[in-house]
Structure formats: structure tokens, C-alpha cells
Chains A and B, each alone.
Chain A
């Protein structure tokens, strides 16, 4: 005659970690129809859980994530190095030019031909615009990444 049924926790232990289950619990479940049914219910429950369909997004997560990644750090570091080199070259060029032509620079507009003046102005302007555009793009990209992560 069985007086004390085993607890719910002991039944779960019997089902999920039988090796940790005390012998008297195993014996009880084997001989008590009520506790055996409870144990069988846990078995069915787990079987049911394992058979449930796994959830999935209705879009390609990997593709979407990769599209939104900030530029790789290595590339970013290379970009800034490149930017610094260009800035250095431009500043050196302007400084050297100013030094060599310091005596004549007041008359520069009259002494050089209009074509070379135009060429110099255009080149400097183009480099300037390129640098500014690149800085702006980088700034936007970093702001976008920061917003996303916050």
C-alpha cells in the first residue's frame, strides 16, 4: 500500500535526470499508477515541446544585418590615414608655394597666365571639396552606426 506519493519535483527529476533520482523514487513511480501517469504526462509534454515548429523571421536576417554593418575598422583606419596624407601634402604644397613666391605673390595675378591661375585654383578647390565630402560621409556613417547601436 502506498501512503506518500512522490513530489512533482521528484517526478521531473526522474524524467529529466534519472541518474540523479533516488532509488525509492524510481521504485515508487514504477509501482504507483498515479505517479506513473504524472511521469508519462511530463514525457508527453516534452515530446510535444520538442516537436513544435521553430520560429523564423520572414526576411533574410543575415543579408539585412550585413548590409547595415558599419565600415570595417581596418578600412576606416586606412581611410583616415589616407585623408591625413592628402591633407599633409596639400598643406605642404601651399606652404612651399607661399614661401617661394612670397615676394611675387602680390603680383601673382598679373604675372602668371590666366590659364595656370585657373588650373591652380581648380585643383586646390577640387581637393578641398573632395576632402570635405569624404569627411562629411564618414561623419554621417558614424552617426548612423551610433544611432543604431544606442
Chain B
């Protein structure tokens, strides 16, 4: 049995149990998906109180809509989609942007100085840089637009495929790839700037 079939089988068994009234099966679904849900909420929403409410909202929606789940995707992908949409509605209500203008295009400031700015000049410097990296990186990821942060996290931390990310965000796969490319570029450029500023 391959992995996908096995997943669908487990998903189906869990969903059927919940529909028969077993709350413990729903608890298992929450435990199985909360990592992904938490990642999406933390990347899309900055306010801690709201994150808490949204997480509960997401799972109540999942519970309400569960009988309509058609097993066309993994259960976790479907839960991720509900999470993303819930956060999207939240951003709209709060009039917050999904992609900031500063993140959208190539940064002219970096384009002009691209050839003489590097994070490190040779391979031996790499280890020294890695120690500082997580602090600067965490801050710079926080500064990215909600959508960019989410895509970076889904791809690099949750190990989701482009197609799964496309299903969650309901964006075409090409757009997901394009946004991911821009997000990494912006991140690299900002790291260079922060690193350079700190070094000088």
C-alpha cells in the first residue's frame, strides 16, 4: 500500500468515526493537523489573541463541514485550506494586506549593488554565519508579507509539494512557484543588508 492510499484510508476511518459521534476521533484529527494549522495562523496573523480564536474557529468549521469532505485531497490539506481561508477572511476584515508592495517586485536598491554584496565570501565563513543566521532570519521572515511567510513555511518547514500548497491557497501552481521565488529573493537581499549593516 503506498503512502497516499494509506493516508486516505486513515483519513476515511477517522472521518467516519467522527460522523458516528466519536469526539476522540476528532481529537485525533486536531492532533494530527494542529502543526500545519498553527504554522499557517502564526504566519498569516500577528496578534496572539486573534490567533487563539482563529485556531478554535478553524476546527469548529472543520467539524461542521466534515460530512461534506470528499477525500479528493488529504484531510490535512483540506484542513489547511480551511485555515488559510479563515485567515484570509480575518485579514480582509482587519483591512490588512496579503502581499506588501515592498515584497512584490525586485528591489532596485539591491539590483544596483548586487555584485559586491554577499553574505559570505568563501565556504569557510559559512559556519560562522549560520549561528547568527537564525536570529536575523527569524526577524526578516517576520517582516515578510503574510502570504510570502506562509508559502516559505509550507514549502520549507512543512515539506508540502507545490501542488499541495496550491490546493491550500487555491492559487495556480505557477503562481505559488513565482511567489516562492520572490519571497526567497527578498529574504536573501534583506539578509545581505542586515548582515552587512551589522558587520560594518
Chain A interface residues toward B at CB < 8 A: 8-9, 12, 34, 37-38, 40-42, 44-52, 54-57, 59, 61-66, 68-70, 72-75, 145, 148-149
Show 23 residue pairs from A and B whose CB-CB distance is below 8 angstroms, ordered by the A residue: A9-B181, A37-B120, A40-B123, A41-B118, A41-B192, A44-B126, A44-B133, A48-B130, A48-B137, A49-B152, A51-B134, A52-B137, A54-B35, A55-B39, A57-B55, A61-B34, A61-B38, A65-B30, A65-B55, A69-B60, A70-B63, A72-B23, A148-B56
Interface: B197 (CB within 8 A): no
Given contact pairs A41-B119, A65-B30, A48 touches B134 in the complex (Cβ within 8 A): yes
Dominant secondary structure at the B interface:
helix
Interface string of B103-147 (1 = CB under 8 A from A): 000000000000100111101001001100110011001000000
Give every chain A residue within 8 A of B27 (Cβ-Cβ).
Answer: 62-63, 65-66
Chain B: minimal CB distance from A41 (Å): 5
Interface: B165 (CB within 8 A): no
Pick from B3-11, B93-101, B183-191 the stretch touching chain A: B183-191
How far, in angstroms, from A145 to B152 measured CA to CA in the complex?
34
Interface string of B162-185 (1 = CB under 8 A from A): 000000000000000000010011
Interface-centre pick from A49, A68, A148, A149 (highest chain B CB count, 10 A): A49
How far, in angstroms, from A41 to B118 measured CA to CA in the complex?
8
Interface: B148 (CB within 8 A): no
Chain B: minimal CB distance from A43 (Å): 9
Identity of the chain A residue whose Cβ is nearest the Cβ of B62 in the assembled complex: A65
How far, in angstroms, from A9 to B138 measured CA to CA in the complex?
23
Interface: B196 (CB within 8 A): no
Chain B: minimal CB distance from A131 (Å): 24
How far, in angstroms, from A130 to B40 measured CA to CA in the complex?
46
Interface string of B33-66 (1 = CB under 8 A from A): 0110011001000000001100111011101100
Chain B: minimal CB distance from A101 (Å): 44
Chain B interface residues toward A at CB < 8 A: 19-21, 23, 26-27, 30-31, 34-35, 38-39, 42, 51-52, 55-57, 59-61, 63-64, 67, 115, 118-121, 123, 126, 129-130, 133-134, 137-138, 141, 152, 156-157, 181, 184-185, 187-188, 191-192
How far, in angstroms, from A48 to B1 measured CA to CA in the complex?
35
Give every chain B residue within 8 A of A68 (Cβ-Cβ).
Answer: 56, 60
Whether B60 contacts A65 by the Cβ 8 Å rule is: yes
Given contact pairs A34-B115, A52-B138, A66-B23, A44 touches B51 in the complex (Cβ within 8 A): no
Identity of the chain A residue whose Cβ is nearest the Cβ of B53 in the assembled complex: A148
How far, in angstroms, from A149 to B61 measured CA to CA in the complex?
6
How far, in angstroms, from A63 to B56 measured CA to CA in the complex?
11
Chain B: minimal CB distance from A8 (Å): 6
